[in-house]
Amino acid sequence: MPELNGTGRTVTVRVNGEPVTMPRGSMLVAALLNAGVECRVSVSGEPRTALCGMGICFECRANVDGVPQQRTCQIVCKDGMTVETQR
Amino acid sequence: MSHEFDIVVVGAGPAGLAAATAAAGMGRKVAVLDDNPHVGGQIWRAGAGKSAADRAREQAVAGLESSSAELFAGRQVVDASPGSLQAWVGAEQRLESFQFESLILATGARERFLPFPGWTLPGVFGAGGLQALVRGGYDVRGKRVVVSGTGPLLLAVAAHLKQDGAEIVAIAEQAPVSQLAGFGVTLLSRPGKILQGIRLRAELSGVPYRTGCWVVAAEGSGAVTGVRLTDGTQTWAERCDLLACGFHLVPNTELASLLGCRITETGVEVNAEQRTSVAGVYCAGEPTGVAGVDAATVQGRIAGLAAAGQSAAAASLYGKRDAEVKFGRAMSRAFALRAEVLKLAEPDTIVCRCEDVRFGDLEGNCVPRTGWTDAKLQTRCGMGPCQGRICGPALDALFGWRNASVRPPVFPIPIAALCSAPLYDSEVSIHEPQEISQ
């Protein structure tokens, strides 16, 4: 079972091509938030970021390693992971 | 891939962990599924943040780890019937099938959101939502945060955010102090909970906690830069970087609905053994009515024991369970919503965030919608990927509209997965609600 507190190590993911370094165990959505990148554009053109943080609202969805519509709040950051947001 | 178990538990929060551990301890073959990559549910959410440590969590997780129960994390249950369920494994983009004799639903609760002008701006989060994101590595050091809405969660969230380096500008609790006084009285009968309250209180010294106060609008272009607060007579502006808002919790009952379990105003109906109206299906924790972590834990243990055929052992816990549930329900009453917070949306305020349906589209720009189904058909309200989980409870609070039907998949999955899944049982079973034998 993963126990991720206090390892003191980091991982680096790419958010829209830019490297973002996060504490190991971080969720992908946090990398987007720390980078100041919105997750998606709503159907009427509004920028959106995560709301619920727990897999319910689907506002944090983005393309992760080529797979579209992934809830980034449910995915743990791994080295080399790539996230592309809707822009 | 198909797995066979005696008992499958859906949800690895406090109720699910207790249920799985108790049932496995009685020699049953148990699986526990959770959609998150880590166990603990929302209240004990793990992650990279500093504030995740919690002794109750550590004990519950250690209990599960030392038991024979098998954990399947990262599994989103998308369909279920008595005897089998289908789970989506997002990391591997495939469905997985589980067969079982008994099913224990420990699907937890989510935050209730109410629409107000600006609530869709980046920087506006759920209260528990922001806490979850910080635990997930979101760096809020130096951010000015307003925490607003209702419920004891606001205090816990503010305390944790402050520990994580945020500056709490204000906590705005919509319930009036007179209503909360009753809650204070309830606390006096529970010394353990008072200690918890005092610890939070110390953490929050110097932070203004305003009762009878609520956010009327979030402001900013592109992201939130401030909020407008009111106490019902005066309205004032407060500058902030983030707004954490939540209006207490709503139970996650979608899976229980799909299974045909009878649902009441408070949640999934259960008998003393936590059995639902559907044979072989148990429910524990928040889905049965929001009552908090201590109630969830003992309900989970009862469900696990009962599902393992240990009725006598389960019965020894009824007294403790009933006291915890009573406490939890009293707390929910203390934080009942005031009428004003249900009237904040303006015609152009988005209600359904998935489909950008605005309040005016529902309330009578042209033709007022008459109910949930009418709203769905005419405006696409509730038809996006969250399947009405966010706007549904809001529309229930605002208009009394209830989602009439729940159909599989209860979470969206790629159509290719549905088409290609050999294990997927396309026959949707309809279960007539039955009387629960007591």
pLDDT above 70 for B194: no
Q: In terms of CATH, what superfamily is B113-247?
A: FAD/NAD(P)-binding domain (3.50.50.60)
> Taking the model in full, what pTM does it have?
0.92
Full 3-state SS string of chain B: CEEECCEEEECCCHHHHHHHHHHHHCCCCEEEECCCCCCCCCCCCCCCCHHHCCHHHHHHHHHHHCCCCEEECCEEEEEEECCEEEEEEHHHCEEEEEECCEEEECCCEEECCCCCCCCCCCCEECHHHHHHHHHCCCCCCCCEEEEEEECCHHHHHHHHHHHCCCEEEEEEECCCHHHHHHHHHHHHCCHHHHHHHHHHHHHCCCCCEEECCEEEEEECCCCCCEEEEECCCCEEEEECCEEEEEECEEECCHHHHHHCCCECCCCECCCCCCECCCCCEEECCHHHCCCCHHHHHHHHHHHHHHHCCCHHHHHCCHHHHHHHHHHHHHHHHHCCCCHHHHCCCCCCCEEECCCCEEHHHHHCCCCCCCCHHHHHHHHCCCCCCCCCCCHHHHHHHHHCCCCCCCCCCCCCCCHHHHHHCCCCCCCCCCCCCCCCCC
pLDDT, mean of residues B348-359: 97
Average pLDDT (B374-399) is: 94
Chain pair A-B, CB pairs under 8 angstroms: 140
- Tell me how close the Cα of A65 comes to any Cα of chain B, in angstroms: 11
Nearest beta carbon to residue A1 from set B48, B65, B353: B65
> Average pLDDT for residues B331-351, to the nearest whole number?
93
Which among B178, B176, B177, B198 has a CA at the least distance from the CA of B187?
B198
Which residues of A fall within a CB distance of 8 Å from B42? 54
Measure in Å the smallest separation between the Cα of A76 and chain B Cα atoms: 7
* Contact (CB<8Å) B120/A46: yes
CB–CB contact A57 B353 (8 Å): yes
List pLDDT tens digits, range A55-76.
999 999 999 999 999 999 999 9
Question: Per-residue pLDDT averaged across B154-158, rounded?
Answer: 90
Q: Are B38 and B45 in contact (CB under 8 A)?
A: yes
Beta bridge partners of B71: B32
Residue from the list B130, B131, B356 with its beta carbon closest to the beta carbon of A42: B356
State which H helix or E strand residue A21 sits in. strand A18-23
Q: What is the mean pLDDT of chain B?
A: 90
User: Taking 80 as the threshold, does the pLDDT of residue B190 lie above it?
Assistant: no
> CA of B137, closest CA in chain A: separation in Å?
5
Token pair in block for residue B77 = 């249950």
Q: How many residues does chain A have?
A: 87
Q: Side-chain half-sphere of B270: how many Cα atoms within 13 Å?
A: 31
- CA angle, residues A41, A46, A52, in degrees to nearest 5: 75
3-class secondary structure, A85: coil
Rounded to whole angstroms, how far apart are CA atoms A51 and A15? 19
pLDDT at B142 (0 to 100): 98
Cis preceding-peptide flag for B409 (omega within 30 of 0):
yes
Q: How far apart (Å, rounded) are the C-alpha atoms in residues A35 and B288?
A: 39
A29 and B48 in contact by Cβ < 8 A?
Answer: no
* Structural contact between residues B268 and B251, judged by C-beta atoms closer than 8 angstroms: yes
The pLDDT value given to residue B420:
67
Task: Give the CATH fold of the B2-110+250-332 domain.
Answer: FAD/NAD(P)-binding domain (3.50.50)
pLDDT band at B106 (very low <50, low <70, confident <90, very high): very high
The interface residues of chain B toward chain A in range 325-354, judged by CB-CB distance below 8 A, are 350, 353-354
pLDDT category at B369 given cuts 50, 70, 90 is confident
What mean pLDDT is predicted for residues B193-209?
A: 72
Region at B260 (left for phi over 0; alpha for psi -120 to 50; beta for the rest): left
Average pLDDT score over residue span B216-224: 96
Quickly state the pLDDT bin for B192 (edges 50, 70, 90): low
pLDDT band at B7 (very low <50, low <70, confident <90, very high): very high
**Spans of all domains in chain B:** 2-110+250-332, 113-247, 340-399
The pLDDT assigned to B152 comes to 83
Confidence of residue B2 (pLDDT cuts 50, 70, 90): confident
More confident residue, B29 or B48: B29
- Rounded Cα distance, B384 and B319, in Å: 43
Residue A83, burial from CB neighbour count under 10 angstroms (0-12, 13-18, 19+): buried
Residues 6 or more apart in contact with residue B201 via CB below 8 angstroms: B155
Break chain A into its structural domains and give their ranges.
10-84
Beta bridge partners of B49: none
pLDDT 10s digits, B111-136: 999 999 999 999 999 999 999 999 99
Write out the two tokens for B42. Answer: 């929302």
pLDDT bracket for residue B137 (50, 70, 90): very high
Query: How would CATH label the architecture of A10-84?
Result: Roll (3.10)
The angle formed by the CA atoms of residues B198, B143 and B163, to the nearest 5 degrees, is 30
**CA gap B356, B364 in Å, rounded:** 16
What's the pLDDT at B284? 98
Give mean pLDDT, residues B135-159: 94
B126 interfaces chain A, CB cutoff of 8 Å: yes
For residue range B259-283, list pLDDT tens digits in order: 999 999 999 999 999 999 999 999 9
What ipTM was assigned to the predicted interfaces of this complex? 0.93
Low-confidence winner among A72-76, B252-256, B424-428 (lowest mean pLDDT): B424-428
- Please judge whether A52 and B390 are an interchain contact, meaning their C-beta atoms are less than 8 angstroms apart: yes
Chain A nearest C-alpha distance from B379 (Å):
13
CB nearest A48 (choices: B65, B122, B133):
B122
- Of A79, A82, B15, B21, residue with least CA distance to B7: B21
Calculate mean pLDDT across residues B279-305.
96
Q: What is d(CA B314, CA B320) in angstroms, rounded to the nearest whole number?
A: 11
Two structure tokens written together for A42: 């709503």
pLDDT at A6 over 50: no
Question: Is A82 at the interface with chain B, CB within 8 A?
Answer: no
| Residue B274 and residue B315 in contact, taking contact as beta carbons nearer than 8 Å | no
User: Does A21 reach chain B within 8 Å, measured CB to CB?
Assistant: no
Share of chain B above pLDDT 70, in %: 88
